[in-house]
Amino acid sequence: MAIATGASGGATAITDAKRRYKAGVLKYRQMGYWEPDYVPKATDTVCLFRITPQEGVDPIEAAAAVAGESSTATWTVVWTDRLTACDTYRAKAFKVEAVPNSPGQFFAWVAYDIILFEEGSIANMTASLIGNVFSFKPLKAARLEDIQIPAAYVKTFKGPPTGLIVERERLDKFGRPLLGATTKPKLGLSGRNYGRVVYEGLKGGLDFMKDDENINSQPFMHWRDRFLYVMDAVNKASAATGEVKGSYLNVTAATMEDMYERADFARQLGSVVVMIDLVIGWTAIQSMSNWARRNDMILHMHRAGHGTYTRQKNHGVSFRVIAKWLRLAGVDHLHAGTAVGKLEGDPPTVQGYYNVCRDSYTRQDLPRGIFFDQDWCDIRKVMPVASGGIHAGQMHQLLDLFGDDVVLQFGGGTIGHPAGIQAGAVANRVALEAMVKARNEGHNIRVEGPEILRKAARGCSPLQQALDTWGDISFNYTPTDASDFTPTAAVAH
């Protein structure tokens, strides 16, 4: 439902310059931040905000305020605007619609001219788009739901240093999801004990093991020790299987200098992959992406901390926006949810995140929460990672939801296996290969999946034990972040 634009009572931009720049306070829409007839240019960035205005605040004025506070506005008129081509610098709110079934919430579309953002800088783009505006008093809450980034700006980024296609070529692994596990317990193991878990998992059949987000260099295990033991495990497992193996060495640290030092050591030891946490920030992420490019390294991104701003539907930033920014910033792996595991995620919404990572061209897809078409301009594709509370008994669901280009990480589902870590890895690999084979043979795995697993388990006791232990474990809670899509195609401009 479109909101009446109202032509009276100071509802529109003041065009007379003398009145417009008279000292004092004007409504944002009077200042030129609301332009209902505006048609975004091919070089504009378009943002879709979900806003919850305070009681009594008109939604159009609130939308204009979002446009103003995320671009040039301050709270009062300033004459220095007149020294600039200020009409072009103003972001323009051009459409406001009520969010279906959500009283008090509105979708606001805002367009930004390309001059507003420094080329190749996510830090700069985010400083505008999610800067001051999210603390703005007239709004109870605001959320950046989706973003359309123009091709001209996309091409100022280098994107993933490796990308999922080249990653597969380096690893010599094709036509199936990759398998991983996070080493557990995440805190407390010594380097020697830690490497044991890595070796057992990789020899048992996993492609990757992984440091957890908060494993850096604590008293129980300093980073050099971890890297040395882990790489012994990786190389031993590679020799035992004839496969390329990896373990994401987390180089997250207090300073860039520390991170570079750790990453360089990982490179010297022959690791194929290093890992960073989202909490290091956009600038550090782009620096590490450049480092990974220079050193032929896969860059794994753990999205630690994202839930603080992505989970609540009325306030923050949707993960689909974070995923778009991370693809531009340049990471190769990105945790994007499991839909069926222990962590938050409505299945179609999670599929939307995966598509943003992997598409060549993303089409508007409202049930999956994708509001805009997005041309990725041949930028490489990010390998999404499904991690958190998943197990072999869900293999058919995971393959059906996410397809081949995903890393499936079974941490507890590998290390918690009753017959040991190698057995846990075998169970996962057999379940995966059996499911891929059956799908390719034409079986409907969504329906026949449990039977395919039971059949595979007849020849594989580790898989039978896994199914006996976890077969009926599921995490069925109502997602907090399902898509509130509007049923018309009008949401795309």
Partner 1 sequence: MMTNPVRKITQGQFSFLPELTDAEISLQIEYGLSRGYAWSIEYTDDPHPRNTYWEMFGMPMFDLKDAAGVLMELQNCRKTFPQHYIRLIAFDSTRGVESIAMSFIVNRPVSEPGFGLIRQEAGGRTIRYTVHGYAADRPEGERGGNGKS
Q: Binding residue for partner 1 (CB under 8 A) from 137, 174, 255, 472?
A: 174
- Residue 175 found at the interface with partner 1 (CB under 8 A): yes
Binding mask 456-475 for partner 1 (x = CB under 8 A): x--x--x-------------
- What is the nearest approach in angstroms of partner 1 to the Cβ of residue 258? 17
Q: Binding residue for partner 1 (CB under 8 A) from 82, 437, 454, 455?
A: 437
Query: Which part of the chain contacts partner 1 (CB under 8 A), choosing from 87-95, 293-301, 408-416, 440-448?
Result: 440-448
Between 1 and 240, whose beta carbon lies closer to partner 1?
Answer: 240
Residue 272 CB contacts under 8 Å (≥ 6 apart), including other chains: 170, 171, 244, 246, 297, 298
* Angle (deg, nearest 10), helices 191-204 and 223-241: 20
- Residue 433 found at the interface with partner 1 (CB under 8 A): yes
Between 389 and 462, whose beta carbon lies closer to partner 1?
Answer: 462
Which amino acid, residue 206? L
- What is the nearest approach in angstroms of partner 1 to the Cβ of residue 348? 24
- Residue 224 found at the interface with partner 1 (CB under 8 A): yes
- What is the nearest approach in angstroms of partner 1 to the Cβ of residue 170? 9
**HSE value, Cβ hemisphere, 13 Å, CA-based, for 156:** 16
Identified catalytic residue from 140, 155, 184, 236: 184
- Taking the C-alpha atoms of residue 483 and residue 50, their distance in angstroms, rounded to an integer, is 12
Q: Determine whether 184 is an active site residue.
A: yes
- Residue 322 found at the interface with partner 1 (CB under 8 A): no
- Taking the C-alpha atoms of residue 200 and residue 63, their distance in angstroms, rounded to an integer, is 55
Q: Is the peptide bond before 150 cis (omega within 30 degrees of 0)?
A: no
- What is the nearest approach in angstroms of partner 1 to the Cβ of residue 161? 17
Restricted to residues 356-375, the positions that interact with partner 1 (CB under 8 A) are: 360
Query: Which part of the chain contacts partner 1 (CB under 8 A), choosing from 2-10, 313-321, 437-445, 473-481?
Result: 437-445
- What is the nearest approach in angstroms of partner 1 to the Cβ of residue 429? 5
Binding mask 178-217 for partner 1 (x = CB under 8 A): -------------------------xxx------------
Query: Which part of the chain contacts partner 1 (CB under 8 A), choosing from 15-23, 83-91, 239-247, 341-349?
Result: 239-247
Binding-site size for partner 1 (CB under 8 A) equals 45
Between 317 and 379, whose beta carbon lies closer to partner 1?
Answer: 379
Identified catalytic residue from 302, 313, 381, 396: 302
Query: Which part of the chain contacts partner 1 (CB under 8 A), choosing from 18-26, 115-123, 417-425, 465-473?
Result: 417-425
| Contact between 25 and 68 (Cβ < 8 Å) | no
- What is the nearest approach in angstroms of partner 1 to the Cβ of residue 215? 19
Query: Which part of the chain contacts partner 1 (CB under 8 A), choosing from 38-46, 59-67, 214-222, 439-447?
Result: 439-447
Between 213 and 332, whose beta carbon lies closer to partner 1?
Answer: 332
- Residue 444 found at the interface with partner 1 (CB under 8 A): no
Positions touching partner 1 (CB under 8 A) are 165, 168-169, 172, 174-176, 203-205, 224, 228, 231-232, 235-236, 238-244, 268-270, 360, 378, 381, 422-423, 425-426, 429-430, 433-434, 436-437, 440-442, 456, 459, 462
Q: Which of the residues are catalytic?
A: 184, 302
